[in-house]
Amino acid sequence: MTTTEPELYYDPYDFEIDTNPYPIWRRLREERPLYYNERYDFFALSRFDDVEKGLVDWKTYSSAKGTLLELIRSGIEMPPGSIIFEDPPSHDAHRSLLSRVFTPRKMNAIEPQVREYCARALDPLVGAGGFDFIADIGAQMPMRVIGMLLGIPEEDQQAIRDRIDDGLRLEEGEMPSFEDGLATGQAEVFADYLDWRAEHPSDDLMTELLQAEFEDETGTRRRLTRDELLGYVNLLAAAGNETTTRLIGWSGKVLSEHPDQLRQLAEDRSLIPNAVEEVLRFESPSPVQARYVTSDVEVHGQVVPEGSAMLLINASGNRDDRKFPDGDSFDIHRKIDHHLAFGYGLHFCLGAALARLEGRVALDEILQRFPRWEVDWDNAVQARTSTVRGWEKLPVVTA
């Protein structure tokens, strides 16, 4: 008796698919490396080489209309200062400001504060028999770090994070609409902080952005406009919270499922940096990047017409056996020259050094206190968003 696999269908909004998209992504790579979805009218690339080339080729695959499928389809104008929604030359002018701040050297310099935030979160949980990778550490430490960098008072950080979470959450398994524009109210939550910092400068990123001068795409030497500043701060707060939260959650989930490798890490914490890279490859927190196709382009013998939406499934590329042998297996000793978890090319994530630092320190501090854990699956809840993939609740038992 023979069995046939169901018809190949990929939908980035389908909750059932999102629970474990890897079998479908594997089929895409093998059966339909250029995929087309009629319901939402998008194409998708899933192999490592194809995704990498798409991320590099910003002239053909543009970010200027948004990097989410729903944004591209909405046709709304992208707000200024959101460098992930820009192409050169404006992208280069705006990115140069942040690249001065988010250097590996500057990020590594804040490691003591990151460890302090981790200790503050974890020390009260020792002896409790368990904790939640999201509520107790994954959501807390990144929020404190980006709040510290921006100069947002600690008492206000939780409320801002809650607003960001609410803005990302999908309520239905279908494409969300942007009838009211692009979360302008979300950016306005930082307006009062900007006004305060303009009058009371300090040693923080918000002050640095307020005072920075740069040469824009027209060759004019100037400072950022208020709208640009709000765009910057909103982007930094959202990106600085969400992706690292997901990374920490995936570390807890994947290592629970590989207790032998968890034991190796507990015994030799020098293995942690490479383990973080493998978690990023194996469970990429930002798995899909959307692009607008600016001109007809031939891919795998088929013409993708100008005006199309293209999904670059970087999380699928990171499991591609052509790049990573036995890509669906998790191995903290894997040799990784580079993966696509932070993108590639000119839109490579500016916060990559910060995310790596936070992921490394969090795992180190957790293992120092809790060398073993198992996920409490009865109470674990997967998050549903169209931008990042991870856990809303991930409680573990430690004793």
pLDDT by residue for the chain (399 residues), tens digit each? 445 678 999 999 999 999 999 999 999 999 999 999 999 999 999 999 999 999 999 999 999 999 999 999 988 888 766 788 889 988 888 888 888 777 888 888 899 999 999 999 999 999 999 999 999 999 999 989 988 988 888 888 777 777 776 666 777 777 776 654 444 445 567 888 888 888 989 888 889 889 988 888 888 999 999 888 888 888 888 877 888 999 999 999 999 999 999 999 999 999 999 999 999 999 999 999 999 999 999 999 999 999 999 999 999 999 999 999 999 999 999 999 999 999 999 999 988 999 999 999 999 999 999 999 999 999 999 998 878 899 999 999 997
The two structure tokens encoding residue 11: 């939908």
Decide if 322 contacts 46 (C-beta within 8 A).
Answer: no
SS3 227: helix
The closest of 142, 327, 165, 374 to 241, measured between CA atoms, is 142
- The pLDDT of residue 152: 85
Which strand ranges, in their side-by-side order, compose the sheet holding 61-62? 34-37, 42-45, 309-312, 289-293, 61-62
Radius of gyration of the chain (CA): 21
CA dist 86 → 59, 283, 332 (Å) = 11, 26, 35
Contact present, 119 and 174 (Cβ < 8 Å): no
Domains of the chain: 15-397 (1.10.630.10)
Specify whether the CB–CB gap between 33 and 46 falls below 8 A: yes
Cis peptide before 259 (omega within 30 of 0): no
- Contact assessment for residue 42 and residue 309, using Cβ atoms and an 8 Å cutoff: yes
